């Protein structure tokens, strides 16, 4: 019996829709229909009754559903068991966002190779959405992306990078740091925009201020944003991890504002549901401590992801 046909059957029941099941499985609607028809031929029964756009299980379909669910569950548990008992890994395919590729991967890969000398590593840099699709299509084993959820993916927090206000050398905030965001009002801002929820929170915070900051420059590139701030074009909010060297060289200075303490850029480790326990454990065992490299950074590794 074809597992993919069973999966299509269970998903159509779950979503009560052929189209929604197709979207969830990244298939076309005709492909889902073909899989259901194949399963019906194999069982020699009709599983669904279709009335226009409405879909309902036939009596035979209702009888078969718990068995299909049990088969899928047993199959996934079997794969998990094999994954847990896998002791060697020849190749690891990693997908990550541009910021992870620039600031995290160079810290991780040397340590990974040191622990597993024979491991071959393939790295793909792309957007969060593209990495998610590649995980679902089994083109990569694991993704390091911004916080995201999907019913077919296990997603656990890998690290959380605080977002702080940074100013250039000579700025008055270095000697007289603001205690509230209101004091930042009227300042020229270089705004790095990466699309995460925390950047949206910043925009909403600006809207509540009596005198919001003046956003002179929008930039979607971290390196360009850092250089513009260091050159005195304005002040800006940046993730700690990307500015470690600039802080050490005293070209950028972190300004701590209590009301921004909860803002952070979160990166999650994603893998296919039920299949990534071994890989997550692999990453959890990497002796990587970003915070130790820079006392100004509060980045922390969530080692609980191996659970």
- d(CA 303, CA 202) in angstroms, rounded, equals 28
| Residues 6+ positions from 306 with CB-CB distance below 8 Å | 277, 280, 281, 284, 285
225 and 198 part of one domain? yes
119 and 33 part of one domain? no
* Distance between first and last Cα of the chain: 32
Q: Give me the pLDDT at residue 211, please.
A: 81
- Domain CATH for 36: 1.10.10.10
| Residues 6+ positions from 16 with CB-CB distance below 8 Å | 55
Q: Give me the pLDDT at residue 82, please.
A: 66
- d(CA 117, CA 126) in angstroms, rounded, equals 26
Q: Does 288 reside within a domain?
A: no
pTM: 0.59
Q: What is the mean pLDDT of each run of 10 residues along the chain (307 residues)?
A: 89 90 87 94 92 87 93 80 58 90 88 84 92 91 87 88 91 91 86 65 78 83 91 91 91 90 84 81 68 35 31
170 and 77 part of one domain? no
Domain span at 76: 3-84
Q: Give me the pLDDT at residue 301, please.
A: 32
Q: Give me the pLDDT at residue 125, please.
A: 94
143 and 164 part of one domain? no
Q: Long-range contacts for 222-231 (Cβ within 8 Å, ≥24 apart)?
A: 222/99, 222/102, 222/192, 223/102, 225/190, 225/191, 225/192, 226/252, 228/190, 229/166, 229/167, 229/168, 229/190, 230/168, 230/169, 231/168
- d(CA 129, CA 266) in angstroms, rounded, equals 15
Q: Does 194 reside within a domain?
A: yes
Helix (H, G, I), strand (E, B) or coil at 74: helix
- Give the chain's domain count: 3
Task: Tally DSSP H helices, then E strands, for the chain.
Answer: 12, 12
Q: Give me the pLDDT at residue 144, please.
A: 93
152 and 198 part of one domain? no
Contact 102, 294 (CB under 8 A): no
Q: Does 258 reside within a domain?
A: yes
11 and 51 part of one domain? yes
256 and 178 part of one domain? yes
Q: Give me the pLDDT at residue 296, please.
A: 34
- Domain CATH for 274: 3.40.190.10
103 and 241 part of one domain? no
Q: Give me the pLDDT at residue 203, please.
A: 74
Q: Does 296 reside within a domain?
A: no
DSSP for residue 172: G
Q: Does 181 reside within a domain?
A: yes
Q: Which helix (H) or strand (E) holds 4?
A: helix 3-15
Chain centroid to Cα 111, Å, comes to: 22
119 and 204 part of one domain? no
């Amino acid at each position: 019996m074809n597992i993919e046909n069973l999966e299509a059957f269970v998903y159509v029941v779950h979503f009560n829709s052929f189209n929604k099941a197709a979207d969830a499985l990244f298939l076309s609607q005709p492909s889902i229909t073909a899989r259901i028809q194949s399963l019906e031929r194999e069982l020699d029964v009709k599983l669904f009754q279709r009335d226009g756009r409405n879909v309902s299980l036939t009596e035979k379909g209702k009888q078969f559903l718990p068995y299909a669910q049990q088969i899928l569950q047993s199959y996934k548990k079997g794969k998990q068991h094999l994954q847990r008992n896998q002791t060697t890994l020849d190749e690891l395919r990693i997908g990550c966002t541009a910021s992870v590729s620039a600031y995290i991967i160079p810290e991780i890969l040397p340590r990974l190779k040191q622990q597993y000398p024979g491991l071959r590593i393939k790295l793909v840099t792309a957007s969060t959405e593209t990495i998610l699709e590649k995980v679902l299509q089994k083109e990569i084993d694991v993704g390091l992306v911004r916080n995201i959820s999907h019913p077919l993916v296990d997603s656990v927090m890998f690290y959380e990078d605080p977002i702080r206000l940074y100013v250039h050398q000579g700025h008055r905030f270095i000697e007289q740091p603001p205690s509230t965001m209101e004091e930042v009002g009227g300042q020229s801002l270089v705004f790095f925009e990466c699309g995460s929820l925390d950047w949206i929170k910043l925009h909403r915070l600006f809207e509540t201020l009596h005198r919001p900051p003046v956003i002179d420059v929008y930039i979607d590139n971290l390196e360009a944003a850092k250089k513009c701030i260091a050159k005195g074009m304005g002040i800006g909010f940046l993730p700690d991890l990307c500015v470690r060297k600039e802080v050490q060289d005293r070209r950028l200075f972190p300004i701590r504002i209590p009301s921004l303490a909860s803002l952070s850029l979160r990166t999650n480790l994603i893998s296919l549901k039920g299949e990534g326990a071994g890989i997550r454990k692999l990453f959890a065992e990497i002796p990587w401590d970003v915070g130790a490299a820079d006392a100004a950074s509060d980045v922390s590794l969530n080692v609980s992801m191996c659970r």
